Amino acid sequence: MNETDTVNRLPTPVRALETDDPAELLRFALASFGRGPVAIATLTGIRGGAARALGAHVVIAADGGHAGFVSGGCVEAAVATEAMLAMAEGRDRTVAYGEGSPFFDIVLPCGGGITVAIHVLRDVEAIDCVLRCLEARRPAALRYSPQTQALTCAPVPERAGWDGTGFLSVYRPVTRLMISGRSIEAQALARLAACAGYDILVLDPARAIHAIEGMADAHTAIAVLHHDPDAELPVLLKALQSPGFYIGAMGSMKAHRARVERLRDQGIAEADIARIKAPIGMFGPTRDASSLAISVLADVAAARLTRFA
């Protein structure tokens, strides 16, 4: 039977899950593996522009159900078909789309090209390892070796890419957003961050210091949304001792100048004071809680992309 005949016998690809969250995709792979063959397609090369970053995944089950994205949505059905062929043959394959691809009828709107490595899962031990790390809020990495057609856990590099022995996909814990304050701005930010899938902790000032000390990690953003300078000072002092990638404080430029002087009086170094984004947010001034929440969330997202690009 030639490949065309095999394609004609394959199930029709259908999107089973609308997500691009890496942890959700790996959990989908685990669940699907319990029911039959599974393949993971990984974006391993970009030529020109692309809608997704290196390391993006599509997970495909033998029945054609798939989840994830390696493009803006224009090649995923084709990737699923290629993955089902790989599962039928029992061996991995690599395909290219867009610029430089033999699939002239599949054009990427961005005008570039992508390369996708399709791996047929033989076991899920490495995926289990990554999920355990993420649940413990530790970054993790998978190395895919085309030579051995295997996935293994690996030391975490700065970013996804080829390292000479294989392709490394990087996974980082979900952003934890710690919001200190009982203001309407704190409530609006919490609602918006929930929609973005962040791990949210809204803290009463009396509890904020202990919470930051025990729960702030490198993937944590801290938003100090107080209208009382005396209430915010101990929170900021504790936030500056944390490894959080973002610390922001609400208030005007005038309020921030006074804040800086208070921090200097506490002996805080200029480099540490410079970690505070104030006025908080990406744009300003804002005059309502919803606008402030959008501004802060955009700023946090941009800071995370910069820190973990």
Q: At what angle do helices 125-135 and 22-33 cross, to 10 degrees?
A: 140
Q: Mind listing the pLDDT tens digit for each residue in 162-190?
A: 998 899 999 999 999 999 998 899 999 99
Two structure tokens written together for 91? 């061996």
258: CB partners within 8 A, 6+ apart: 229
Tokens 């690996």 belong to 154
For the chain, which ranges sit under pLDDT 50? 104-105
Alpha-carbon 67 to chain mean position: 16
Model pLDDT, residue 74: 82
Model pLDDT, residue 105: 46
What are the strands, taking DSSP E only, across the chain?
14-17, 38-47, 57-61, 65-68, 93-98, 113-120, 140-145, 150-153, 161-162, 167-171, 176-180, 199-203, 220-224, 246-249, 276-277
Model pLDDT, residue 273: 97
What are the angstrom distances between the C-alpha of 90 and each of 10, 159, 236, 255, 304? 15, 30, 56, 64, 39
What is the distance between the alpha carbons of residues 25 and 15, in angstroms, rounded to a whole number? 12
Q: Mind listing the pLDDT tens digit for each residue in 125-143?
A: 999 999 999 999 999 999 9
Model pLDDT, residue 112: 77
Give one DSSP letter per residue of 228-281, joined into a string. -HHHHHHHHHHHTTS--SEEEE-S-HHHHHHHHHHHHHTT--HHHHTTEESS-S
